[in-house]
Amino acid sequence: MGFKDWKAIFYSEKDAYKSLFTKECRLKIPKDFSTGSHGTMRLHFKSDQASGDNLTAPFQAFIYGNKGIFEKAEEWLGNNQSHEAGKLMLLGLDENDKIKVNLDDTSGILSLAGSALLLATNLATVEETRNVVNKKGKAAIHLAAELTGLDESTVKLLVDKTDEKMLDAKDNEKEQTALHKGAKRGNLTLTERLIGRGASTNIQDSNGRTPLYYAAEKDHHRIVRALLEYKEKHESVSNDEKSGLQDHHGMTALHWAIEAKDEVSAKLLVRSQSDLDVLDHKKRSALIPAADKELNKVVRVLLENNADAKVQDSHQRTVLHWAAMRVNLGIMEQLVHREDIQSYINEADYLGRTALHWAAYQHWQHRSQKSAMKLILESYPQYDTRDNDGCTPLILAAERGNLEPVKQLLDKKADPLTTNKEGLAALDQAAINGHGDLVAEPIGHVHEDKVKMKALELAVDHKHLSVAIKLQKSITDRTLQRMAELL
């Protein structure tokens, strides 16, 4: 027993599936219309019989196959209503001419669905059908743009047969053109074909985005390149778009490319956008999210094209803040060697922290942290600046147990006696948090035994006895030594 033939069927009780460009489409063709293809294969459409001669009735079913399977499938459809409406299935005829269904052959279903799709697009050549829209305002060209994997002949047919006025037609959902949808789906062939026919690249949808935004957001850098090359050749592109057109979130296409971590698209957009300091809804220029996402090459290109490193976002952070927070030596090195470093190295964010605070605070690998601190310290920052909690970089480093920053800050004469709003100095924080390998550093720079005694008491209170012993040994005052022994 074996199947005589394998073909595809799709059935929908209400309307046809969008992959066939007929979902809710009212194509003006006769009911029970069949279109021929190679050999004996046909694509058969079945209309609602109740609609009589209404040529705009939605299709209820299509069958792709030869005459034999079509006749059997019609009979099967009439007798078998247990299948899911809208299901794409592989049908076959056994030796007794009975319908067999195989839902497991995914590759076969997809292959035959693709063939059915190609045949369905031939309907676009029927007069007046290619520009008909459904209730969502979508014509065949919109629906085609939402798909991927269309062969070039199908794309050529649809684009070339679409009236010029429909090329820039917007749907009713998001006010998007076919070019928006093609750019979003990564449909390069269709995008290039639409551009070639003169489809506008400047139209904004309901979110204020042009097709370029979606190509950038979805990491479709080949489409980004195609759109940018078109813009460069046409003076009709607005000055606003060249300077960095913003959507309703204040984002430019460059912002979206960076959000997608698409370095290729981002570098292309940097070179095409005249104003690189456009701020989004978080007051971020492109440079700041590029540093946040650790896109070192994009940061370099932005700086080479004069992006402003002094811009502060809604958290009052500069690109140097973000580089320090993300433990990114590559970006930090680019920034601290700039001539304008002194204009922003001591800028404080909304927590009152400078880049030096964050470099001292973060947990870096030993070698990286030493290098990061060295980079910033070479630029002569203010070592003892306090944040909103009164913490200096030294206090934060001691609290976190970051030995290298503590050493480097003390070597630069950072004050070990400065206290935060809770009255705690760097030595106190090391004692409280049990950083035994670290207490020796501030001890060597603190000569007052009373200060050491305070730290010792804190170490005991927090049950860090090994730290307490180190502190006790450093106390020279005999009275305080005896007091320490009693703790």
The Cα 376–Cα 359 span in angstroms is 8
How high is the pLDDT of residue 139? Answer: 73
How high is the pLDDT of residue 76? Answer: 73
Are 136 and 173 spatial neighbours (Cβ–Cβ below 8 Å)? yes
How high is the pLDDT of residue 370? Answer: 73
Are 63 and 34 spatial neighbours (Cβ–Cβ below 8 Å)? no
Are 3 and 94 spatial neighbours (Cβ–Cβ below 8 Å)? yes
The Cα 154–Cα 162 span in angstroms is 12
For 47, the token pair is: 């209309």
The Cα 425–Cα 399 span in angstroms is 9
- pLDDT average, residue stretch 223-239: 77
* Residues with Cβ within 8 Å of residue 127, at least 6 apart in sequence: none
pLDDT in tens, 419-448: 999 999 999 999 999 998 888 887 778 888
Query: With 80 as the cut, is the pLDDT of residue 9 above it?
Result: no
How high is the pLDDT of residue 84? Answer: 53
The Cα 257–Cα 225 span in angstroms is 12
What stretch of H or E contains 258?
A: helix 253-259
The CATH fold of domain 391-487 = 1.25.40
Q: Could you identify the residue written with the tokens 């007091």?
A: 483
Query: With 90 as the cut, is the pLDDT of residue 280 above it?
Result: yes
Whole-model pTM above 0.85? no
Query: With 90 as the cut, is the pLDDT of residue 224 above it?
Result: yes
Q: Rounded to the nearest 5°, which phi and psi values hold at 277?
A: -110, 20
DSSP assignment of 350-407, as one string?
Answer: TTS--HHHHHHHS---HHHHHHHHHHHHTT---TT---TTS--HHHHHHHHT-HHHHH
How high is the pLDDT of residue 1? Answer: 36
The Cα 158–Cα 368 span in angstroms is 57
Q: Where are the alpha helices (DSSP H) in 44-151?
A: 67-79, 106-121, 140-145
Strands (E), 12-77: 34-36, 42-47, 59-65
pLDDT in tens, 318-329: 999 999 998 899
More confident residue, 423 or 169: 423
The Cα 306–Cα 4 span in angstroms is 69
The pLDDT-based confidence of 38 (bands split at 50, 70, 90) is very low
How high is the pLDDT of residue 208? Answer: 92
* Residues with Cβ within 8 Å of residue 158, at least 6 apart in sequence: 121, 124, 130, 140, 141, 144, 190
Query: With 90 as the cut, is the pLDDT of residue 476 above it?
Result: no
What stretch of H or E contains 87?
A: strand 87-93
Are 379 and 336 spatial neighbours (Cβ–Cβ below 8 Å)? yes
CA atoms within 13 A on the CB side of 30: 4
The Cα 289–Cα 313 span in angstroms is 10
The pLDDT-based confidence of 235 (bands split at 50, 70, 90) is low
pLDDT in tens, 294-320: 999 999 999 999 999 999 999 999 999
Q: Where are the alpha helices (DSSP H) in 122-218?
A: 140-145, 152-161, 164-167, 178-185, 188-196, 211-217
* Residues with Cβ within 8 Å of residue 133, at least 6 apart in sequence: 25, 139, 142, 169
How high is the pLDDT of residue 140? Answer: 73
Query: With 80 as the cut, is the pLDDT of residue 73 above it?
Result: no
- pLDDT average, residue stretch 265-290: 93
- pLDDT average, residue stretch 44-73: 55
More confident residue, 248 or 120: 248
State percent of the chain over pLDDT 90. 40
The pLDDT-based confidence of 156 (bands split at 50, 70, 90) is confident
More confident residue, 162 or 388: 388
Mean pLDDT of the chain: 79
Are 226 and 195 spatial neighbours (Cβ–Cβ below 8 Å)? yes
Query: With 60 as the cut, is the pLDDT of residue 210 above it?
Result: yes
Torsion angle (degrees, nearest 10) of CA 294, 299, 301, 305: 160
The Cα 131–Cα 167 span in angstroms is 10
pLDDT in tens, 244-256: 688 888 899 999 9
For 413, the token pair is: 């004469």
Burial class (CB in 10 A: 0-12, 13-18, 19+), 439: buried
434-438, 468-472, 475-479: lowest mean pLDDT where?
A: 475-479
DSSP label at residue 19:
G
Are 160 and 198 spatial neighbours (Cβ–Cβ below 8 Å)? no
The pLDDT-based confidence of 414 (bands split at 50, 70, 90) is very high
How high is the pLDDT of residue 262? Answer: 93
The Cα 299–Cα 248 span in angstroms is 25
More confident residue, 256 or 363: 256
How high is the pLDDT of residue 33? Answer: 43
Query: With 70 as the cut, is the pLDDT of residue 108 above it?
Result: no
How high is the pLDDT of residue 195? Answer: 92
Highest average pLDDT, of 29-38, 131-140, 278-287, comes from 278-287
The Cα 326–Cα 291 span in angstroms is 8
How high is the pLDDT of residue 14? Answer: 46
**Residue range(s) in the chain whose domain bears CATH number 1.25.40.20:** 391-487
Task: List strands edge to edge, sheet with 99-102.
Answer: 34-36, 42-47, 59-65, 6-11, 87-93, 99-102
State percent of the chain over pLDDT 70. 70
How high is the pLDDT of residue 355? Answer: 95
DSSP label at residue 202:
-
How high is the pLDDT of residue 94? Answer: 77
Query: With 80 as the cut, is the pLDDT of residue 242 above it?
Result: no
More confident residue, 487 or 144: 144
